[in-house]
C-alpha cells in the first residue's frame, strides 16, 4: 500500500518556464507592489548606466576636442547626478528584493512544515527524516532565487543592455551589427552548458542531502556509534558520500565556469574588431573620436549585463532544480485525507472493535491476516505474542497512523475511516516504547498533551506518573531544559514524562506500546505504578513484554503470525492446558524476569528439539 502519490507529472519533466510560471503564480500577486518598486529602481539603474555611455561623446568632443570650458561643469554635474541616482536606485532594489526573498523563504518554510504535518506516518517510514530536513534546508531558497534572478535580469540587465544597444546604434550602427554577428555561436554554447548542468545540479543536491542526513543521524545516534565502535565504519561510509559530493561539485564548477572563457572570448573578439574598425576610420576618414569613445563605453558597459544574461539560463537551471525538489514535497498528496462524509468522533463507552482487519506495509507480506476482537470500554485489553505477531501494528491502526487494507475498526460503533483524524486523535493518549521529548522544558513537554492545561494540572499529571519528585530535584524544576530528546534524563524518567503527557491529555482511550520494555527493573517498577494510575477508568489497549504486567488485565488477546489465536482473562487462558498463553505462563514461573519474546523463543527451541529424531 503506497502511503502517498504524486498529483502531477514528474517534476524532472518540468521546464524552467513551467517552474517560473508556478513560482510567479504562487507569489507574484502577494509581492506585486514590492516587485514594481524594485523594477522602477532597476530601470533607473539601466537609464543612468546608458546615460553615462551616451554622454561620453560630449565629454570627448566638447571638453577635449573643442575645449569648451562652459560645457565641462554641466557635463560633470550631469555625470555626478547620474551616479547618485544609480546608487540610491541600487540600494532601493536590493533592499526590496531581499525583503521579498526573505518573506518567500519564510512562507515556503511554513507551507512545508504544515504540509509535512499533514502527511501520514507511512511517508516518513519510506523517506528518512534526516534527508528530508537536509533536502528542505538546501533547496527552499531556490524558489526565492528563481523570482529574484528573473526580475533582476529583466529589469536591470535586459533594460540596461537594451538602453546601451540603443546608444551603440545611435553612435555607429555598422559597429553594432558587427558585434551582433558574433553573438549566435555564444548562445548555442551556453544552451549546451545549461542542459548538462541541469542533471549535474540535481545529482549534487541529492548527494548533499545524503551527506547532511548521514551526519545528522550520526549525531543523533552518537551513543550507539561509540558503544559499538562504529566510528571507522561510518567514517568510511560518509567519506565515500563526501567524495561523490565533491566530485559532483567539481563537475558543476567546470560546467558553470565554462561560460567564462566563452563570454570572454566573445567579448575580446568583439572589442578587438570594433577597435580595429574604428581606428582605421579615424586614421583614414578623419571621423571625430567622440562617437567612437561613446560607442566603446557603451560596449564595455554592456559586457556585464550581457554576461549575466548569458549565464542566466545556467543560474536559473540550478535554482529551478532546487525549486522542483521543494515542489516534490509539496506535491505529495496526503494518503489519509478525511473522507468527505467524515464526522467528529462521539465517545460514550470508548469500546474499540476490530472486524476482520488485514494490513501490510507497502507491498510487503501481510502483517495482520483477519484480526477481530473487542476492547471493552473502560477496561484494559492486553495484546500478547511473539515479536512480529502484529501487536504494534494493531496499536498503530487505532489512531490511523495507517489504514487497514481490508476490514474496519470501530469506536463506539463508529468506523474510524469516516471520522476526522483530529477528533479521533484528540480522544486518544499514546505512550510509545521509545519516549520522545521535544526541545523545551520538562513542563513544556508534559503540556504538549493538552496545551491549555494549567500548571496545577501539569503538576497533578506528574504526580500520578511518579515524576513530580524527580522533576523537583532538577536544577530548575519544571523549567529545566530537557536537552536533545531528553538526553539529560534516564530512560525511566523520560518514560514517566511521556506517561504524564498522556495523563494530562485526559483522553478516554489510552494506547501503550510496550511502555516498559526498554527499562531496568527499578525503573520498570516505578513506570508500572504510573501506568496503573494512567489506566484507571480508561479504555486501555496495552502491549506487554512480560506476562507479570498484565495478569490483572480484563482481557488478554494472544496473537501469533498476524492472527488472534486466544482470547480471555488471565485465569481463563492459564487454565487452557494446550494454549500458547498457558505454556508461556508456565515458563514464566521458572523464568520470572524473562520477556514474552524470550519465552516464545525458548518454547520454539523446545518444540524443535522434541521434533528432532
pLDDT band at 354 (very low <50, low <70, confident <90, very high): very high
More confident residue, 172 or 493: 493
Domain boundaries in the chain? 4-334, 351-427+508-574, 440-506
Mind listing the pLDDT tens digit for each residue in 596-606? 665 665 555 34
pLDDT band at 456 (very low <50, low <70, confident <90, very high): very high
Mind listing the pLDDT tens digit for each residue in 309-325? 777 776 777 777 778 87
Q: Cα dist. 193→190, 257, 264, 323 in Å? A: 5, 10, 16, 20
pLDDT band at 514 (very low <50, low <70, confident <90, very high): confident
For residue 518, pLDDT over 60 is answered with no
> Which has the closest alpha carbon to 23: 320, 332, 334, 331?
320
For β-strands 539-543 and 509-513, DSSP reports them as: parallel
Which residues are paired to 5 by β-bridges?
333
pLDDT at 588: 64
Mind listing the pLDDT tens digit for each residue in 14-24? 467 788 888 88
More confident residue, 191 or 337: 337
| Segment 376-396 mean pLDDT | 89
Report how far residue 256's alpha carbon sits from residue 254's, in angstroms, rounded to the nearest whole number: 6
Q: Cα dist. 498→57, 381, 466 in Å? A: 79, 20, 11
For residue 607, pLDDT over 60 is answered with no
Give the range among 72-76, 357-361, 464-468, 520-524 with minimum mean pLDDT: 520-524
For residue 372, pLDDT over 90 is answered with yes
| Segment 205-234 mean pLDDT | 72
Mind listing the pLDDT tens digit for each residue in 111-139? 888 888 888 777 777 666 666 776 677 67
Mind listing the pLDDT tens digit for each residue in 266-299? 767 777 777 777 777 767 776 666 777 787 788 7
> Which has the closest alpha carbon to 328: 191, 98, 138, 104?
138
What residue ranges in 476-538 does DSSP mark as E strands? 509-513
pLDDT at 412: 93
More confident residue, 136 or 489: 489
Same fold, 4-334 and 351-427+508-574: no
Q: What angle do CA 401, 406, 412 make, to 5 degrees?
A: 65
| Segment 380-395 mean pLDDT | 88
* Domain 4-334 homologous superfamily, CATH: ABC transporter type 1, transmembrane domain (1.20.1560.10)
Give the range among 54-58, 471-475, 528-532, 536-540 with minimum mean pLDDT: 528-532
**Predicted model pTM:** 0.68
pLDDT at 287: 64
More confident residue, 80 or 178: 80
pLDDT at 308: 77
Mean pLDDT rounded to a whole number for the chain: 79
Q: CATH number of the domain at 351-427+508-574, please?
A: 3.40.50.300
For residue 197, pLDDT over 70 is answered with no
For residue 475, pLDDT over 70 is answered with yes
Whether residue 311 contacts residue 62, with contact meaning beta carbons closer than 8 Å, is answered with no
For β-strands 563-568 and 4-6, DSSP reports them as: unpaired
H helical segments located in 377-454? 391-397, 421-426, 442-447
Report how far residue 160's alpha carbon sits from residue 49's, in angstroms, rounded to the nearest whole number: 7
Helix axes 159-171, 289-330, angle to 10 degrees: 160
pLDDT band at 409 (very low <50, low <70, confident <90, very high): very high
For residue 364, pLDDT over 50 is answered with yes
* DSSP per position, 337-348: PPPTT-B----S
Q: Please, is 46 exposed, middle or buried when counting C-beta atoms within 10 Å of its C-beta (0-12, 13-18, 19+)?
A: buried
Amino acid at each position: 500500500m503506497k502511503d502517498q502519490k504524486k498529483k502531477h507529472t514528474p517534476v524532472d519533466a518540468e521546464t524552467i518556464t513551467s517552474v517560473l510560471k508556478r513560482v510567479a503564480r504562487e507569489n507574484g500577486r502577494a509581492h506585486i507592489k514590492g516587485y514594481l518598486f524594485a523594477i522602477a529602481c532597476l530601470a533607473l539603474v539601466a537609464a543612468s548606466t546608458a546615460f553615462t555611455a551616451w554622454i561620453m561623446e560630449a565629454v570627448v568632443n566638447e571638453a577635449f576636442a573643442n575645449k569648451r570650458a562652459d560645457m565641462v561643469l554641466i557635463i560633470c554635474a550631469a555625470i555626478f547626478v547620474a551616479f547618485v541616482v544609480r546608487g540610491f536606485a541600487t540600494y532601493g532594489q536590493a533592499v526590496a528584493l531581499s525583503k521579498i526573498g526573505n518573506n518567500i523563504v519564510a512562507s515556503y518554510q511554513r507551507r512545508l512544515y504544515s504540509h509535512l504535518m499533514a502527511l501520514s506516518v507511512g511517508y516518513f517510514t519510506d523517506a528518512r527524516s534526516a534527508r528530508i530536513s537536509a533536502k528542505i534546508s538546501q533547496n527552499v531558497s531556490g524558489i526565492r532565487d528563481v523570482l529574484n534572478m528573473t526580475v533582476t535580469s529583466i529589469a536591470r540587465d535586459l533594460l540596461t543592455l537594451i538602453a546601451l544597444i540603443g546608444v551603440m546604434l545611435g553612435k555607429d550602427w555598422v559597429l553594432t551589427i558587427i558585434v551582433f554577428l558574433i553573438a549566435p555561436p555564444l548562445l548555442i554554447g551556453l544552451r549546451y552548458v545549461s542542459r548538462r548542468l541541469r542533471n549535474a545540479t540535481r545529482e549534487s543536491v541529492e548527494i548533499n542531502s545524503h551527506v547532511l542526513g548521514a551526519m545528522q543521524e550520526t549525531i543523533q545516534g552518537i551513543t550507539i556509534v561509540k558503544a559499538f565502535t562504529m566510528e571507522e565504519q561510518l567514517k568510511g561510509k560518509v567519506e565515500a558520500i563526501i567524495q561523490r559530493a565533491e566530485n559532483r561539485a567539481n563537475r558543476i564548477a567546470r560546467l558553470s565556469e565554462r561560460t567564462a572563457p566563452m563570454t570572454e572570448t566573445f567579448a575580446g573578439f568583439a572589442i578587438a574588431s570594433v577597435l580595429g574598425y574604428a581606428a582605421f576610420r579615424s586614421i583614414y576618414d578623419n571621423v571625430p573620436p567622440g562617437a567612437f569613445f561613446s560607442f566603446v563605453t557603451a560596449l564595455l558597459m554592456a559586457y556585464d549585463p550581457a554576461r549575466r544574461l548569458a549565464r542566466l539560463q545556467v543560474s536559473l537551471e540550478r535554482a529551478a532544480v532546487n525549486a522542483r525538489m521543494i515542489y516534490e514535497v509539496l506535491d505529495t498528496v496526503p494518503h489519509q485525507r478525511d473522507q468527505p462524509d467524515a464526522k467528529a468522533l462521539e465517545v460514550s463507552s470508548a469500546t474499540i472493535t476490530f472486524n476482520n482487519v488485514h494490513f501490510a506495509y507497502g507491498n510487503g507480506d501481510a502483517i495482520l491476516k483477519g484480526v477481530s476482537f473487542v476492547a471493552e470500554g473502560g477496561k484494559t485489553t492486553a495484546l500478547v505474542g511473539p515479536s512480529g505477531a502484529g501487536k504494534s501494528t494493531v496499536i498503530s491502526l487505532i489512531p490511523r497512523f495507517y489504514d487497514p487494507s481490508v476490514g474496519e475498526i470501530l469506536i463506539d460503533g463508529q468506523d474510524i475511516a469516516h471520522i476526522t483524524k483530529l477528533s479521533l486523535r484528540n480522544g486518544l493518549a499514546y505512550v510509545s516504547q521509545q519516549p520522545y521529548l521535544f526541545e523545551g522544558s520538562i513542563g513544556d513537554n508534559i503540556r504538549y498533551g493538552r496545551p491549555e492545561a494549567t500548571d496545577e494540572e501539569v503538576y497533578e499529571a506528574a504526580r500520578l506518573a511518579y515524576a513530580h519528585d524527580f522533576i523537583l530535584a532538577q536544577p530548575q524544576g519544571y523549567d529545566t531544559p530537557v536537552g536533545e530528546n531528553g538526553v539529560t534524563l534516564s530512560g525511566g524518567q523520560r518514560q514517566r514524562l511521556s506517561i504524564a503527557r498522556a495523563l494530562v491529555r485526559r483522553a478516554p482511550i489510552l494506547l501503550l506500546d510496550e511502555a516498559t520494555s526498554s527499562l531496568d527493573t527499578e525503573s520498570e517498577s516505578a513506570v508500572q505504578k504510573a501506568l496503573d494510575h494512567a489506566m484507571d477508568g480508561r479504555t486501555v489497549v496495552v502491549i506487554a513484554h512480560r506476562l507479570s504486567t498484565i495478569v490483572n488485565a480484563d482481557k488478554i488477546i494472544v496473537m501469533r503470525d498476524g492472527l488472534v489465536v486466544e482470547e480471555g482473562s488471565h485465569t481463563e487462558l492459564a487454565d487452557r492446558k494446550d494454549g500458547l498463553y498457558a505454556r508461556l505462563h508456565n515458563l514464566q514461573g521458572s523464568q520470572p524476569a524473562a520477556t514474552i519474546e524470550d519465552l516464545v523463543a525458548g518454547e520454539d527451541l523446545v518444540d524443535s528439539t522434541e521434533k528432532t529424531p
